[in-house]
Amino acid sequence: MNKLRLLTPGPTSVPAEALLEMARPVEHHRTPEFRAMFKQVTEDLQYVFQTANTVLTVTGSGTSAMESAIVGTCPPGSKALVVRGGKFGERWAEICAAFDIDHVACDVEWGHGAKPEMIEDCLSKDPSITTVIVTHSETSTAAVSDLEGIARVVRQRGDDILLIVDGITSVGAIPVRTDQWGVDVVVTGSQKALMLPPGLACLAVGDRAWKRVDSFSSRSFYLCPKAYRKSMADFDTPYTPNNVMIRGLAVTLKMIRDEGIENVWARTALLARATRAAAEAIGIKVYAADPSDSVSALCMPEGIDESKLRKTVRQRYGVHLAGGQGKLKGNVIRISHMGYVDALDTIGAISAIEMVLSEMGHDLKLGSGAAAAMTVIARRS
Domain C-terminal end among 258, 287, 309: 258
Domain C-terminal end among 258, 288, 306: 258
- 6-54: per-residue pLDDT in tens? 999 999 999 999 999 999 999 999 999 999 999 999 999 999 999 999 9
pLDDT exceeds cutoff 80 at 1: no
Tell me the CA distances in angstroms from 104 to 29, 119, 135, 153, 158, one per residue in order. Answer: 42, 12, 15, 18, 20
DSSP 327: G
Say whether both 251 and 279 belong to one domain: no
Tell me the CA distances in angstroms from 343 to 222, 330, 334, 370, one per residue in order. Answer: 41, 27, 17, 11
Say how far residue 324 (Cα) sits from the centre of its chain: 16
- 61-94: per-residue pLDDT in tens? 999 999 999 999 999 999 999 999 999 999 999 9
Say how far residue 322 (Cα) sits from the centre of its chain: 15
* 216-220, 307-311, 352-356: least confidently modelled range: 216-220
b (16+ CB within 10 A) / e for 75-86 = beebbbbbbbbb
Distance CA 340, CA 322 (A): 16
* Mean of the per-residue pLDDT values of the chain: 97
- Output the domain CATH number for residue 325: 3.90.1150.10
Distance CA 127, CA 107 (A): 18
Per the rule left: phi > 0, alpha: psi between -120 and 50, beta: everything else, 145 is beta
Say whether both 187 and 293 belong to one domain: no
Contact 264, 219 (CB under 8 A): no
Say whether both 253 and 271 belong to one domain: no
Say whether both 228 and 317 belong to one domain: no
Write down the pLDDT at residue 288. 98
Strands 200-205 and 54-59: antiparallel
Tell me the CA distances in angstroms from 179 to 49, 65, 226, 236, 281, one per residue in order. Answer: 9, 19, 21, 24, 39
Say whether both 196 and 81 belong to one domain: yes
**How many domains does the structure of the chain reveal?**
2
Answer positive or negative: Cα dihedral of 261, 266, 271, 276.
Answer: positive
Write down the pLDDT at residue 260. 98
Say whether both 44 and 180 belong to one domain: yes
Range of the domain at 286: 5-10+260-379
Distance CA 67, CA 71 (A): 6
Distance CA 58, CA 70 (A): 15
Say whether both 224 and 124 belong to one domain: yes
Q: What is the DSSP string of 59-124?
A: ES-HHHHHHHHHHHH--TT-EEEEEESSHHHHHHHHHHHHTT-EEEEEE--TT----HHHHHHHHH
Say whether both 229 and 154 belong to one domain: yes
Domain C-terminal end among 207, 226, 258: 258
pLDDT exceeds cutoff 80 at 381: no
- 175-211: per-residue pLDDT in tens? 999 999 999 999 999 999 999 999 999 999 999 999 9
Contact 174, 267 (CB under 8 A): no
